[in-house]
Chains A and B, each alone.
Chain A
Amino acid sequence: MTDPFLLSMALIVFLSIAGLSVGLAMMCGSFLYLIMKGYDPSIASEQLLQGLYNGYTLLAIPLFILAADIMNIGSLADRLLRFCQALVGRFRGGLGHVNVVSSVIFSGMSGSAVADAVGMGKIIIGLMTRDGKYTASYAAAITAATATIGPIIPPSIPMVLYALVSDQSVGFLFAAGLAPGLLMALVMAVMNYIIARKRGFPTDEAVPMSELPRITMQAFPALMLPVILLGGIYSGIVTPTEAAAVAAAYALTISVILYRSVSFRAFWETLSSGARSAGSIGVLIAGSITFNYVITREDVPNALATWLGSMDLGPTGFLVMVNILILLLGCVLEGGAILLIVVPILIPAVQAMGIDLIHFGVIAVVNSMLGLITPPYGLLLFITANITKQPLGAIVRDIWPFILALLFALGIITFIPDFVLFLPRLLGYQG
């Protein structure tokens, strides 16, 4: 590694800490590196343009954002929640369980944790805190924690990002996420039950069984969406990238025809805000693409692989190291940044260790989603704090048990590869 490389790294870190857009900071670092090395500075522009132009799988990102937005402005999210309440509201810690189950179902339609927290989160936090049944900080904490399931159960934007950097099949990655996602839901439901007993949270008023068919019928079109998406992907009718467009089209059709709940004006607003999100996310991705050139040119992946190899860890020790590394990075970095910058550096070493790349992908994605709820920098913490107007500290206090529960799930996912890989193998994965 040369001085220009270390200087450009330092510039990126400092510009980011000083509040510059992370994507622009990485572009600045890349330009600086090229200038100091005496290379053609336009290489950064070339990498940015060609990287975006050739990243076909990236196209799923704006479409999933669009799909989630449409589900929120239509009444699909509302109807789903009523269904979940009828199903599990009657148990101890009832609305907490409703929160878990609704996250599972919603995650089958959306690829984004933040979309889940914003969409379902607003409604369910309102339900939980009404009449003072649950403290606002607990409602915020469990909403943030369960939203991490969103990108684990397919479809999933982070899995698409990982597929891009690791050259693995999106279809197999999606299949690999299902069991871990359900496990995460299970450990959080158990934790909710334990806390509800200890703190004396109420059960929810039971919805009469006679009401269940009607409520199910109302939620039925929404419940069908995960089935349609996964069916479409695994029967080969649509690619995982196209599935994002199908999700958006389905949500739009249902909202307009069945529920008459979306006007053209509202749809156009959604498109416009979706494009704005795509702009800010796209520039982050673009920045990481340009800096990736610098990392490659400096042979950083080889150096890292050599370093890891020299420590003489077995695959198990290596995975423990990597998990700790990503957890620590997750405290200060975005999940997307971890997947786009840090994970590609690790992949050659992962291959050399003989670790399965699909298994590793699920570990990396689950772990980086944990980063969304670990302080100090946890996006889901910020969002639920914003919804509930609670101080961050109170939410952090209530979220610790859930972080522990998720760490337990991460342990199982890391050390029992078959638990992750049995489903992709059923679908033909050869790893």
Chain B
Amino acid sequence: MEPVTTLWQRLAALPRHISALLLGSMFAVFILQIVFRYFLNLPVGWTVEWVTIAWVWGILFSFAFVVRQGDMIRLDIVYSAVPRAVRRAFDIFTGLTCATIFIYTLPAAWGYVTFMEIERTAYLRWPFDLVFGIYIPFHISVIIRMLLTAWGGIMGSRTRDEVDLHPETHDYD
């Protein structure tokens, strides 16, 4: 059965590789842009556009498929201080509230993304419904994650590792 496990592991690691690829391409294309402009004296426009699209996709894709609950930036000062029962109540409330709001707004969000088909990007001339398309998986993944959070609260099955803060995720300060 071992090959099956390996295949499964590889599939599971795929989103991580895609998000790494997106960040890697931002990095590489930025360097290309500098080289083209200052060393070859050839200003190019598609580089900025690619980097911007990779950034939008990188954020929404990573959040949808890669980021763990513990990676999210949260104010856990109260959450980590209250008893377990209260924490479960918190999880049920936040999970259900957030999921309800995101389910209710999904049709409107879908409407906006598909509407943007009429606009195109400046250089690559890509239609904006594709550029913004990653938003829909993001929106849906929030719904699923929040339902799981609420379910975890109901069953009392969330582990500490799932909810503890990982310090390395706060690199923006």
A contacts B directly in the complex (CB < 8 Å)?
yes
- Residues of chain A touching chain B, judged by Cβ–Cβ distance below 8 Å, are 11, 15-25, 28, 31-32, 35, 40-42, 44-46, 48-49, 52-53, 56, 58-59, 61-66, 68, 112-115, 118, 151, 157-158, 237-238, 242, 244-246, 248-249, 268, 271-284, 286, 332-336, 369, 372, 376-377, 379, 382-383, 386
Give the chain B neighbours of A245 by CB distance below 8 A. Answer: 26-27, 30-31, 34
Would you mind naming 23 contact pairs between A and B with Cβ atoms under 8 Å apart? A11-B97, A17-B79, A19-B79, A21-B72, A28-B98, A31-B101, A41-B105, A46-B112, A59-B30, A62-B26, A63-B26, A64-B171, A65-B171, A113-B173, A275-B58, A279-B19, A279-B58, A281-B169, A282-B63, A283-B59, A335-B173, A377-B75, A386-B167
**A242 partner, pick from B34, B62, B132, B173, beta carbons under 8 A:** B34
The answer on a CB contact under 8 Å between B105 and A44 is: yes
List residues of B (44-95) whose CB comes within 8 Å of A's CBs.
Answer: 48, 51-53, 55-56, 58-63, 66-67, 71-79, 87, 90-91, 93-94
What is the number of residues of chain B that contact chain A, defined by CB distance less than 8 Å?
68
The answer on a CB contact under 8 Å between B132 and A49 is: yes
The answer on a CB contact under 8 Å between A19 and B30 is: no
List residues of B (1-39) whose CB comes within 8 Å of A's CBs.
Answer: 16-17, 19-24, 26-27, 30-31, 33-34, 38
The answer on a CB contact under 8 Å between B173 and A151 is: yes
Q: How far is the CB of A148 from chain B (nearest CB, A)?
A: 9
**A42 partner, pick from B17, B34, B58, B108, beta carbons under 8 A:** B108
Known contacts A17-B78, A22-B74, A114-B167; is-contact A40 B34 (Cβ 8 Å): no
Question: For the complex, is B144 an interface residue (Cβ under 8 Å from A)?
Answer: no
* Cα distance A37–B131 in the bound complex, in angstroms: 29
The answer on a CB contact under 8 Å between B19 and A61 is: no
The answer on a CB contact under 8 Å between B59 and A112 is: no
The answer on a CB contact under 8 Å between B33 and A49 is: no
Q: How far is the CB of B1 from chain A (nearest CB, A)?
A: 26
Give the chain A neighbours of B135 by CB distance below 8 A. Answer: 45, 48-49
**B19 partner, pick from A15, A59, A63, A272, beta carbons under 8 A:** A272
Residue of A nearest to B18 (CB): A275
Known contacts A19-B74, A158-B173; is-contact A45 B98 (Cβ 8 Å): no
Give the chain A neighbours of B56 by CB distance below 8 A. Answer: 49, 52-53
Q: How far is the CB of B162 from chain A (nearest CB, A)?
A: 11
The answer on a CB contact under 8 Å between A59 and B62 is: no
The answer on a CB contact under 8 Å between A279 and B62 is: yes
Q: How far is the CB of B105 from chain A (nearest CB, A)?
A: 4
Question: For the complex, is B109 an interface residue (Cβ under 8 Å from A)?
Answer: yes
Residue of B nearest to A379 (CB): B170
Q: How far is the CB of B158 from chain A (nearest CB, A)?
A: 11
Q: 4 new A-B pairs (CB below 8 Å) besides A21-B72, A56-B48, A59-B52?
A: A18-B78, A59-B26, A279-B71, A282-B62
The answer on a CB contact under 8 Å between B169 and A280 is: yes
Residue of B nearest to A272 (CB): B20
* Cα distance A173–B78 in the bound complex, in angstroms: 36
The answer on a CB contact under 8 Å between A275 and B66 is: yes
Give the chain A neighbours of B102 by CB distance below 8 A. Answer: 28, 31
**B74 partner, pick from A20, A40, A59, beta carbons under 8 A:** A20
Give the chain A neighbours of B61 by CB distance below 8 A. Answer: 279
Question: For the complex, is B148 an interface residue (Cβ under 8 Å from A)?
Answer: no
Give the chain B neighbours of A332 by CB distance below 8 A. Answer: 75, 77
**A238 partner, pick from B34, B71, B75, B165, beta carbons under 8 A:** B34
* Cα distance A45–B33 in the bound complex, in angstroms: 30
The answer on a CB contact under 8 Å between A280 and B34 is: no
The answer on a CB contact under 8 Å between B51 and A19 is: no
The answer on a CB contact under 8 Å between B48 and A274 is: no
* Cα distance A193–B59 in the bound complex, in angstroms: 44
Question: For the complex, is B113 an interface residue (Cβ under 8 Å from A)?
Answer: yes
Give the chain B neighbours of A15 by CB distance below 8 A. Answer: 94, 97-98
The answer on a CB contact under 8 Å between B168 and A382 is: no
Residue of A nearest to B132 (CB): A49
The answer on a CB contact under 8 Å between B76 and A19 is: yes
**B101 partner, pick from A16, A28, A49, beta carbons under 8 A:** A28
Known contacts A279-B71, A376-B77; is-contact A45 B38 (Cβ 8 Å): no
Give the chain B neighbours of A280 by CB distance below 8 A. Answer: 62-63, 67, 71-73, 169
